[in-house]
């Protein structure tokens, strides 16, 4: 078991409170499968909750037979110690829903990195094709239909030829497992979600070396509908990084918070924006080796995400 700071215990408690709150959330107003949740295409104000919350995601996969193109830009800025760190990952993805409960996503990634004099990272200034991923997602409980809250699980195997943190070349294999919960505290008005994330990664580096790492995370978010097409909200995130595939050899932990914005652009397109800042962090040690290990983990000082999606 790893040690936690007061801020980290706060985020864990908050995520647990959100989860407990899901169990008591009221069901959606409508009763049938088409109208019981946001995202029902029979409604003129159609939307899904997957991208309402920023880095946290909702359980929805869309209507059976639906297809969507998504373009996701994820950025990280700043590391511990001296130097400049700017990293942007661009994903172009095809998303589909085979049924109302099973969805999938196929993604291609590119990366841009600007790294200079950061402890533990080589200097880089490059743009490259990075890799690809496949993500199946299954909804076990549909929000407002099977239960007052939604429950889903996804697995995302990913291959990268360019490490999106360090810019190093090699063969990186990862498998993000994500557990989703969401609910409507006020039907079609106020929604909450929480995610539990486990991301193990194995890397075969260009110089022949190998490495193993993992990231564990718990996030919680809330989004409120201020107009028929606009949601504003905020989220909190807690992450713990390890230099192993399990929960040993901890690198440290970080706590983030920030605002979110979701704009529905007609019935077939949306734009989602999120920004989060590191409010507290706890490296394993403040030695040179500890700071270098921290900088090699996905724990930038600030992060941002933009998602644009269009249905076809």
User: What is the C-alpha to C-alpha distance for residues 141 and 144, in angstroms, rounded to an integer?
Assistant: 9
User: Is residue 1 in some structural domain?
Assistant: no
User: For 249-305, how does the pLDDT look when each residue is reduced to its tens digit (9 = 90+)?
Assistant: 899 999 999 999 999 998 899 999 999 999 988 877 778 888 898 898 889 999 999
Alpha helices (H) along the chain: 6-23, 288-295
62: nearest Cα among 19, 23, 103: 103
User: For 74-85, how does the pLDDT look when each residue is reduced to its tens digit (9 = 90+)?
Assistant: 999 999 888 999
User: For 3-46, how does the pLDDT look when each residue is reduced to its tens digit (9 = 90+)?
Assistant: 445 544 544 454 454 444 444 444 433 333 344 444 444 443 44
User: Is residue 170 in some structural domain?
Assistant: yes
- Say if CB 85 and CB 76 are below 8 A apart: yes
Has residue 216 got a pLDDT over 50?
yes
What distance lies between CA 211 and its chain's CA centroid?
Answer: 23
**What SS3 state is found at 122?**
coil
User: What is the C-alpha to C-alpha distance for residues 130 and 36, in angstroms, rounded to an integer?
Assistant: 40
User: What is the C-alpha to C-alpha distance for residues 62 and 95, in angstroms, rounded to an integer?
Assistant: 9
User: Is residue 140 in some structural domain?
Assistant: yes
User: What is the C-alpha to C-alpha distance for residues 226 and 188, in angstroms, rounded to an integer?
Assistant: 11
Domain that holds residue 219: 6-60+132-306
Output 210 or 36, whichever has higher pLDDT.
210
User: For 42-61, how does the pLDDT look when each residue is reduced to its tens digit (9 = 90+)?
Assistant: 443 446 899 999 999 999 99
User: Is residue 290 in some structural domain?
Assistant: yes
User: Is residue 102 in some structural domain?
Assistant: no
Please name every residue paired with 206 in a beta bridge, in sequence order, or none if there are none. none
Tokens of 247: 């929960």
Tokens of 30: 């409508």
pLDDT computed for residue 35 by the predictor: 40
User: Is residue 139 in some structural domain?
Assistant: yes
User: Is residue 101 in some structural domain?
Assistant: no
Say if pTM beats, i.e. exceeds, 0.85: no
Number of domain units in the chain: 1
User: Is residue 80 in some structural domain?
Assistant: no
User: For 84-101, how does the pLDDT look when each residue is reduced to its tens digit (9 = 90+)?
Assistant: 999 999 999 999 999 999
């Amino acid at each position: 078991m790893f040690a936690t700071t007061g801020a980290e215990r706060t985020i864990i408690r908050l995520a647990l409170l959100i989860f407990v709150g899901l169990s008591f959330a009221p069901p959606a107003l409508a009763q049938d499968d088409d109208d019981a949740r946001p995202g029902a295409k029979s409604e003129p104000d159609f939307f899904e909750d997957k991208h309402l919350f920023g880095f946290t995601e909702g359980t929805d996969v869309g209507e059976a037979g639906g297809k969507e193109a998504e373009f996701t830009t994820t950025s990280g800025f700043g590391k511990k110690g001296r130097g400049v760190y700017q990293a942007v990952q661009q994903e172009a993805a095809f998303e589909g829903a085979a049924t109302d409960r099973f969805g999938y996503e196929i993604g291609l990634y590119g990366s841009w990195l600007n790294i200079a004099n950061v402890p533990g990272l080589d200097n880089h200034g490059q743009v490259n094709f990075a890799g690809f991923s496949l993500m199946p997602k299954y909804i076990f409980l549909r929000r407002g239909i099977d239960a007052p809250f939604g429950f889903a699980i996804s697995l995302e195997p990913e291959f990268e030829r360019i490490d999106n943190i360090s810019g190093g070349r090699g063969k990186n294999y990862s498998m993000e497992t994500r557990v989703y919960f969401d609910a409507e505290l006020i039907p079609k008005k106020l929604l909450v979600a929480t995610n539990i994330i486990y991301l193990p990664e194995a890397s075969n580096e260009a110089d022949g070396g190998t490495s193993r790492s993992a990231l564990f995370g718990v996030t919680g978010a809330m989004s409120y509908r201020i107009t028929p097409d606009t949601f504003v909200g905020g989220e909190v995130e807690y992450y713990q990084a390890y230099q192993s595939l399990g929960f040993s050899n901890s690198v440290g932990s970080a706590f983030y918070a920030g605002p979110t914005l979701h704009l529905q652009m007609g019935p077939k397109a949306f734009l989602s924006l999120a920004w989060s800042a590191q409010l507290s962090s706890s490296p394993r040690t403040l030695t040179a080796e500890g700071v270098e290990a921290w900088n090699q983990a996905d724990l930038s000082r600030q992060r941002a995400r933009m998602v644009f999606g269009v249905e076809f």
